Amino acid sequence: MKKYVTRSLMGITLGLSTLAMTATSVQAADVPDPLRLGIDMPYAPFGYKLPSGELTGFEIELGNALCKQLATHCQWVEQDFDGIVPGLLARKYDVIMSALTINPERERQVLFSAPYFTPPSGWFVKADSPLAKVTGALDSEALKGKVIGVQRGNLQDHYVTDLYGQVAEVRRYTKLDDLVLDMDSGRVDAAFLDQPVGQDTLVNANDGNFVNTGTAISEPKKYFGDGFGIAMKQRDRALKKSIDSALEQLKADGTLKRLSAKYFAAEKTTTTSQ
Protein backbone atom coordinates (compact mmCIF):
# COMPACT_ATOMS: atom_id res chain seq x y z
CA MET A 1 0.00 0.00 0.00
CA LYS A 2 2.70 2.41 1.03
CA LYS A 3 4.64 1.58 -2.08
CA TYR A 4 1.71 2.60 -4.27
CA VAL A 5 1.35 5.91 -2.51
CA THR A 6 5.03 6.68 -2.91
CA ARG A 7 4.99 5.70 -6.54
CA SER A 8 1.95 7.73 -7.39
CA LEU A 9 3.39 10.72 -5.54
CA MET A 10 6.56 10.37 -7.56
CA GLY A 11 4.48 10.19 -10.71
CA ILE A 12 2.61 13.37 -9.81
CA THR A 13 5.81 15.26 -9.00
CA LEU A 14 7.40 14.17 -12.24
CA GLY A 15 4.31 15.18 -14.20
CA LEU A 16 4.15 18.57 -12.54
CA SER A 17 7.81 19.33 -13.18
CA THR A 18 7.44 18.46 -16.89
CA LEU A 19 4.40 20.70 -17.03
CA ALA A 20 6.32 23.55 -15.43
CA MET A 21 9.16 23.07 -17.86
CA THR A 22 6.95 23.21 -20.95
CA ALA A 23 5.22 26.27 -19.57
CA THR A 24 8.48 28.16 -19.14
CA SER A 25 9.76 27.19 -22.57
CA VAL A 26 6.63 28.67 -24.21
CA GLN A 27 6.86 31.80 -22.11
CA ALA A 28 10.49 32.34 -23.01
CA ALA A 29 9.66 32.46 -26.69
CA ASP A 30 6.59 34.71 -26.09
CA VAL A 31 5.50 34.15 -29.67
CA PRO A 32 3.82 30.74 -29.93
CA ASP A 33 4.76 28.43 -32.80
CA PRO A 34 2.54 28.01 -34.72
CA LEU A 35 0.80 31.32 -34.17
CA ARG A 36 -2.94 30.64 -34.52
CA LEU A 37 -4.83 33.52 -36.13
CA GLY A 38 -8.63 33.69 -36.03
CA ILE A 39 -10.33 35.05 -39.17
CA ASP A 40 -13.85 35.32 -40.56
CA MET A 41 -14.04 34.35 -44.22
CA PRO A 42 -14.97 35.16 -46.89
CA TYR A 43 -14.35 38.86 -46.41
CA ALA A 44 -12.83 39.94 -49.69
CA PRO A 45 -10.42 41.59 -50.20
CA PHE A 46 -9.18 41.00 -46.64
CA GLY A 47 -9.44 37.25 -46.48
CA TYR A 48 -10.97 34.74 -48.89
CA LYS A 49 -10.36 31.42 -50.58
CA LEU A 50 -9.23 30.87 -54.14
CA PRO A 51 -11.09 28.17 -56.08
CA SER A 52 -8.10 25.93 -55.38
CA GLY A 53 -8.81 26.25 -51.66
CA GLU A 54 -5.74 28.39 -51.03
CA LEU A 55 -6.24 31.29 -48.62
CA THR A 56 -5.46 34.75 -49.88
CA GLY A 57 -6.27 38.41 -49.29
CA PHE A 58 -4.77 41.48 -47.71
CA GLU A 59 -4.87 40.16 -44.16
CA ILE A 60 -3.73 36.66 -45.09
CA GLU A 61 -0.67 38.00 -46.91
CA LEU A 62 0.07 40.57 -44.22
CA GLY A 63 -0.35 37.93 -41.52
CA ASN A 64 1.99 35.53 -43.29
CA ALA A 65 4.59 38.28 -43.70
CA LEU A 66 4.15 39.05 -40.02
CA CYS A 67 4.74 35.43 -39.03
CA LYS A 68 7.90 35.36 -41.13
CA GLN A 69 9.05 38.51 -39.36
CA LEU A 70 8.32 36.88 -35.99
CA ALA A 71 10.12 33.67 -37.04
CA THR A 72 7.02 31.53 -36.48
CA HIS A 73 4.39 29.77 -38.59
CA CYS A 74 0.89 31.05 -39.28
CA GLN A 75 -2.05 28.76 -38.69
CA TRP A 76 -5.32 30.35 -39.83
CA VAL A 77 -8.46 29.35 -37.92
CA GLU A 78 -11.86 30.16 -39.43
CA GLN A 79 -14.49 31.59 -37.10
CA ASP A 80 -17.76 33.45 -37.71
CA PHE A 81 -17.36 37.13 -36.92
CA ASP A 82 -20.11 37.24 -34.29
CA GLY A 83 -18.13 34.80 -32.15
CA ILE A 84 -14.64 35.95 -32.94
CA VAL A 85 -13.85 37.70 -29.63
CA PRO A 86 -15.34 34.94 -27.43
CA GLY A 87 -13.33 32.47 -29.54
CA LEU A 88 -10.12 34.28 -28.63
CA LEU A 89 -11.07 34.36 -24.96
CA ALA A 90 -11.79 30.61 -25.18
CA ARG A 91 -8.26 30.11 -26.60
CA LYS A 92 -9.35 28.71 -29.94
CA TYR A 93 -6.57 30.87 -31.42
CA ASP A 94 -3.83 33.17 -30.14
CA VAL A 95 -4.71 36.38 -31.99
CA ILE A 96 -7.52 37.79 -34.16
CA MET A 97 -6.66 39.27 -37.54
CA SER A 98 -10.06 39.73 -39.10
CA ALA A 99 -10.91 43.34 -39.93
CA LEU A 100 -11.47 43.95 -36.23
CA THR A 101 -11.68 47.65 -35.53
CA ILE A 102 -10.05 48.99 -32.40
CA ASN A 103 -12.74 50.61 -30.24
CA PRO A 104 -13.20 51.16 -26.49
CA GLU A 105 -15.92 48.51 -26.12
CA ARG A 106 -13.58 45.84 -27.47
CA GLU A 107 -10.55 47.15 -25.60
CA ARG A 108 -12.32 46.14 -22.41
CA GLN A 109 -12.04 42.51 -23.56
CA VAL A 110 -8.87 42.28 -25.64
CA LEU A 111 -5.50 43.90 -26.20
CA PHE A 112 -4.93 45.49 -29.61
CA SER A 113 -1.78 45.93 -31.65
CA ALA A 114 -1.14 49.22 -33.47
CA PRO A 115 -3.62 49.64 -36.36
CA TYR A 116 -2.54 48.28 -39.73
CA PHE A 117 -5.39 49.59 -41.86
CA THR A 118 -8.10 52.24 -41.56
CA PRO A 119 -11.00 51.97 -44.00
CA PRO A 120 -14.17 54.08 -43.87
CA SER A 121 -17.60 52.43 -44.04
CA GLY A 122 -19.85 52.85 -47.03
CA TRP A 123 -23.42 52.26 -48.23
CA PHE A 124 -24.04 49.87 -51.10
CA VAL A 125 -27.30 49.53 -53.02
CA LYS A 126 -28.60 48.10 -56.29
CA ALA A 127 -27.82 50.29 -59.28
CA ASP A 128 -31.56 50.79 -60.03
CA SER A 129 -32.48 51.60 -56.41
CA PRO A 130 -33.75 55.13 -55.65
CA LEU A 131 -31.07 55.28 -52.97
CA ALA A 132 -28.40 55.08 -55.67
CA LYS A 133 -29.04 58.71 -56.62
CA VAL A 134 -28.46 60.07 -53.11
CA THR A 135 -25.55 62.44 -52.91
CA GLY A 136 -24.17 63.35 -49.52
CA ALA A 137 -24.92 61.34 -46.41
CA LEU A 138 -27.72 58.79 -46.27
CA ASP A 139 -29.86 59.99 -43.37
CA SER A 140 -32.84 58.56 -41.53
CA GLU A 141 -35.14 60.33 -44.00
CA ALA A 142 -33.70 58.39 -46.93
CA LEU A 143 -33.51 55.11 -45.00
CA LYS A 144 -37.01 55.30 -43.54
CA GLY A 145 -38.79 51.96 -43.91
CA LYS A 146 -35.86 50.39 -45.74
CA VAL A 147 -34.21 47.09 -44.96
CA ILE A 148 -30.55 47.53 -43.99
CA GLY A 149 -28.19 44.55 -44.10
CA VAL A 150 -25.09 44.30 -41.91
CA GLN A 151 -22.83 41.60 -40.60
CA ARG A 152 -23.74 40.72 -37.02
CA GLY A 153 -21.59 42.18 -34.28
CA ASN A 154 -19.34 44.45 -36.32
CA LEU A 155 -19.16 48.21 -35.91
CA GLN A 156 -21.50 48.81 -38.85
CA ASP A 157 -24.11 46.72 -37.01
CA HIS A 158 -23.71 48.81 -33.85
CA TYR A 159 -23.86 52.05 -35.85
CA VAL A 160 -27.02 51.35 -37.84
CA THR A 161 -28.73 49.66 -34.89
CA ASP A 162 -28.19 52.73 -32.72
CA LEU A 163 -28.86 55.37 -35.38
CA TYR A 164 -31.49 53.82 -37.66
CA GLY A 165 -32.88 50.93 -35.60
CA GLN A 166 -36.08 52.90 -35.00
CA VAL A 167 -36.83 54.00 -38.57
CA ALA A 168 -35.50 51.09 -40.62
CA GLU A 169 -35.35 47.33 -40.28
CA VAL A 170 -31.86 46.02 -39.54
CA ARG A 171 -31.12 42.48 -40.74
CA ARG A 172 -28.00 40.89 -39.27
CA TYR A 173 -26.08 38.21 -41.12
CA THR A 174 -23.58 35.75 -39.70
CA LYS A 175 -21.85 35.36 -43.06
CA LEU A 176 -21.16 38.03 -45.65
CA ASP A 177 -22.16 35.60 -48.48
CA ASP A 178 -25.71 35.40 -47.17
CA LEU A 179 -25.98 39.18 -47.13
CA VAL A 180 -24.75 39.30 -50.73
CA LEU A 181 -27.38 36.69 -51.74
CA ASP A 182 -30.15 38.73 -50.15
CA MET A 183 -28.86 41.98 -51.70
CA ASP A 184 -28.95 40.20 -55.03
CA SER A 185 -32.52 38.94 -54.66
CA GLY A 186 -33.71 42.36 -53.49
CA ARG A 187 -34.57 41.34 -49.95
CA VAL A 188 -32.18 43.94 -48.55
CA ASP A 189 -32.33 47.55 -49.77
CA ALA A 190 -28.95 48.75 -48.57
CA ALA A 191 -25.84 47.16 -47.12
CA PHE A 192 -23.53 49.03 -44.79
CA LEU A 193 -20.03 47.60 -45.03
CA ASP A 194 -16.34 48.35 -44.77
CA GLN A 195 -15.81 50.39 -47.93
CA PRO A 196 -13.22 48.09 -49.58
CA VAL A 197 -15.30 45.01 -48.80
CA GLY A 198 -18.45 46.41 -50.39
CA GLN A 199 -16.40 47.63 -53.33
CA ASP A 200 -14.88 44.21 -53.86
CA THR A 201 -17.71 41.84 -52.96
CA LEU A 202 -20.67 43.80 -54.35
CA VAL A 203 -19.55 46.38 -56.92
CA ASN A 204 -16.58 44.69 -58.59
CA ALA A 205 -17.89 41.13 -58.41
CA ASN A 206 -21.30 41.85 -59.97
CA ASP A 207 -20.55 43.97 -63.04
CA GLY A 208 -22.64 47.10 -62.65
CA ASN A 209 -25.38 45.53 -60.56
CA PHE A 210 -24.48 47.38 -57.37
CA VAL A 211 -23.16 50.85 -56.64
CA ASN A 212 -21.59 52.68 -53.76
CA THR A 213 -23.82 55.55 -52.66
CA GLY A 214 -23.78 58.42 -50.17
CA THR A 215 -20.63 59.62 -48.51
CA ALA A 216 -18.20 57.26 -46.82
CA ILE A 217 -18.40 57.42 -43.03
CA SER A 218 -15.60 57.22 -40.48
CA GLU A 219 -16.97 59.37 -37.66
CA PRO A 220 -17.83 59.31 -34.76
CA LYS A 221 -14.85 57.53 -33.25
CA LYS A 222 -17.13 55.86 -30.70
CA TYR A 223 -18.26 53.52 -33.46
CA PHE A 224 -15.61 53.71 -36.14
CA GLY A 225 -12.64 53.53 -33.79
CA ASP A 226 -9.02 53.69 -34.82
CA GLY A 227 -8.63 51.23 -37.66
CA PHE A 228 -8.10 47.50 -37.82
CA GLY A 229 -5.82 46.01 -35.17
CA ILE A 230 -4.59 42.56 -34.30
CA ALA A 231 -6.31 41.49 -31.08
CA MET A 232 -4.90 39.25 -28.39
CA LYS A 233 -5.68 38.34 -24.79
CA GLN A 234 -5.14 41.12 -22.24
CA ARG A 235 -2.22 39.42 -20.54
CA ASP A 236 -0.19 38.86 -23.75
CA ARG A 237 1.77 42.11 -23.34
CA ALA A 238 5.02 40.58 -24.57
CA LEU A 239 3.30 39.24 -27.69
CA LYS A 240 1.85 42.69 -28.39
CA LYS A 241 5.35 44.19 -28.23
CA SER A 242 6.69 41.64 -30.71
CA ILE A 243 3.75 42.10 -33.09
CA ASP A 244 3.94 45.89 -32.93
CA SER A 245 7.64 45.95 -33.77
CA ALA A 246 7.10 43.42 -36.57
CA LEU A 247 4.30 45.60 -38.01
CA GLU A 248 6.64 48.60 -37.76
CA GLN A 249 9.24 46.73 -39.79
CA LEU A 250 6.66 45.70 -42.42
CA LYS A 251 5.71 49.37 -42.72
CA ALA A 252 9.35 50.43 -43.01
CA ASP A 253 10.29 47.89 -45.68
CA GLY A 254 7.26 48.75 -47.82
CA THR A 255 5.40 45.44 -47.48
CA LEU A 256 2.27 47.14 -46.13
CA LYS A 257 2.28 49.70 -48.94
CA ARG A 258 2.79 47.03 -51.59
CA LEU A 259 -0.10 44.94 -50.22
CA SER A 260 -2.47 47.93 -50.02
CA ALA A 261 -1.65 48.81 -53.60
CA LYS A 262 -2.30 45.21 -54.61
CA TYR A 263 -5.68 44.84 -52.91
CA PHE A 264 -7.22 48.34 -52.76
CA ALA A 265 -7.84 50.83 -55.52
CA ALA A 266 -5.88 53.86 -54.36
CA GLU A 267 -8.60 56.49 -54.80
CA LYS A 268 -11.28 54.53 -52.98
CA THR A 269 -9.56 53.90 -49.67
CA THR A 270 -7.30 55.62 -47.21
CA THR A 271 -4.37 53.76 -45.84
CA THR A 272 -2.86 55.28 -42.79
CA SER A 273 0.51 54.80 -41.35
CA GLN A 274 0.14 56.39 -37.96
Partner 1 sequence: MEQLNDVAQSGFIAQLGQMINDVLSQNYIFTATTLWHYWDGLVTTVQLVFLSLIIGLILAVPLAILRGSRRRWIKMPVYLYTYVFRGTPLLIQLYLIYYGVVFFDGFDVSYGLGSVHIPSIQQTWLWDYFRDPFVPAMLAFVLNTAAYTTEIFHGAIQSTPKGEMEAARAYGMSRGKMMRRIIMPSAFRRALPAYGNEVIFMLHASAICSVVTLLDLTGAARDIYARFYAPFEAFLFVAAIYLCLTFTIIAIFRQLEKRLLAHLRPLS
Query: Distance between CA atoms of 117 and 224, rounded to whole angstroms?
Result: 12
Query: Distance between CA atoms of 144 and 215, rounded to whole angstroms?
Result: 18
CA 142 and chain centroid, separation: 29
CB of residue 63 to partner 1, shortest distance in Å: 22
Residue count at the site for partner 1 (CB under 8 A)? 22
CB of residue 92 to partner 1, shortest distance in Å: 12
Query: Distance between CA atoms of 126 and 213, rounded to whole angstroms?
Result: 10
- Contact status: 109 vs partner 1 (CB under 8 A): yes
- Contact status: 82 vs partner 1 (CB under 8 A): yes
Stretch binding partner 1 (CB under 8 A), from 4-12, 65-73, 77-85, 228-236: 77-85
**Start-to-end CA span in the chain (Å):** 68
Cβ atoms of 57 and 43 within 8 Å: the answer is yes
Binding to partner 1 in span 27-66, by CB under 8 A: none
| Between 123 and 173, CB nearer to partner 1 | 173
Q: Can you tell me which of 23, 89, 127, 137 binds partner 1, judged by CB under 8 A?
A: 89
Cβ atoms of 129 and 71 within 8 Å: the answer is no
Q: Can you tell me which of 85, 180, 203, 250 binds partner 1, judged by CB under 8 A?
A: 85
Stretch binding partner 1 (CB under 8 A), from 76-84, 111-119, 206-214, 219-227: 76-84
Residue 62: count other Cβ atoms within 10 Å of its Cβ.
24
Cross-strand bridge partners of residue 126: 210
| Between 144 and 257, CB nearer to partner 1 | 144
- Contact status: 254 vs partner 1 (CB under 8 A): no
| DSSP letters spanning 27-85 | HHH-S-SSEEEEE-S-BTTTBEE-TTS-EESHHHHHHHHHHHHTTS-EEEEE--GGGHH
Question: One symbol per residue from 115 to 154: x for binding partner 1 (CB under 8 A), - otherwise; what is it?
Answer: -------------------------------------xx-
Q: Can you tell me which of 11, 15, 86, 254 binds partner 1, judged by CB under 8 A?
A: 86
Cβ atoms of 110 and 133 within 8 Å: the answer is no
Question: One symbol per residue from 149 to 188: x for binding partner 1 (CB under 8 A), - otherwise; what is it?
Answer: ---xx---xx------------xxxx---x--xx-xxxx-
Q: Tell me which residues touch partner 1 (CB under 8 A).
A: 81-83, 85-86, 89, 109, 152-153, 157-158, 171-174, 178, 181-182, 184-187
